[in-house]
Amino acid sequence: MIEILEREYGVGCIVADPQTYVTHPMVREATLGQDAPLTDEVAERLLCPSLHPLMSTTENQMIAEAIDSAVRKVS
């Protein structure tokens, strides 16, 4: 879907929200040996589109519509 958004709509995005229990040393130590499969699954699919507080309502709407269209193409 990332490729569709970039190629067809010019919307940059990444899937990048690493799990806290993997990346934060204190949490990792406190959860050693525990499994969080739902967290792992969500972290692999969480879409992070390019956003900025100075973007206009029109730009935000365009990005939302592009994401909607791209999701429909891959569903």
Q: State which residues form the domain around 64.
A: 2-74
At 2, phi and psi to the nearest 5?
Answer: -60, -40
CA atoms lying within 13 Å on the CB side of residue 34? 13
Contact 14, 2 (CB under 8 A): yes
Domain count, the chain: 1
Predicted pLDDT of residue 10: 94
Place of tokens 């990792």: 28
70: left (phi over 0), alpha (psi -120 to 50) or beta: alpha
Predicted pLDDT of residue 15: 83
Predicted pLDDT of residue 56: 96
Predicted pLDDT of residue 43: 85
Residue-by-residue pLDDT tens, the chain, 75 positions: 889 999 999 999 988 878 888 888 999 899 998 888 998 888 888 888 988 999 999 999 999 999 999 999 988
